[in-house]
Amino acid sequence: MRVVNIHEAKTHLSRLIEAAIRGEPFVIAKAGTPLVKVTALEPPAVSPRLGFMIGQIEVPEDFDRMAEGEIADLFDGTNRGG
């Protein structure tokens, strides 16, 4: 495993992080004494969200027309029914 001193780590941090992401962890040392080990994290598990409430909610047939009279009143003051 690669050991780098603090100054080198600060100077080349982006490059060192890219190497860690590729599976090459490294150790940061101060005056030759290892202080920390840098490794890539496992990517978070992503659960599919589409359809997660199937069977738990029901959308009424007239959903797209619900409160259309009240909405019309808000815009022009004439209730067109509903």
Domain that holds residue 14: 2-38
Q: Is residue 65 part of a domain?
A: no
Task: Report the distance separating Cα 36 and Cα 55, nearest Å.
Answer: 49
Q: How many domains does the chain have?
A: 1
What pLDDT is attached to residue 81?
55
Name the percent of the chain lying above pLDDT 90: 50
Strand partners, 4: 28
> Which tokens go with 57?
């909610």
Q: Is residue 62 part of a domain?
A: no
Q: Is residue 25 part of a domain?
A: yes
Report yes or no: 28 and 36 within 8 Å, Cβ to Cβ.
yes
Q: Please provide residue 3's backbone torsions phi and psi, each rounded to the nearest 5 degrees.
A: -115, 125
Taking residues 20-32, report their average pLDDT: 96
Q: Is residue 79 part of a domain?
A: no
What pLDDT is attached to residue 4?
97
Grade residue 36 by pLDDT with cuts at 50, 70 and 90.
very high
Identify the residue with better confidence: 19 or 62: 19
Q: Hey, is 39 helix, strand or coil?
A: coil
- Tell me the CATH number at 27: 3.40.1620.10
Q: Is residue 33 part of a domain?
A: yes
Q: Please provide residue 21's backbone torsions phi and psi, each rounded to the nearest 5 degrees.
A: -60, -35
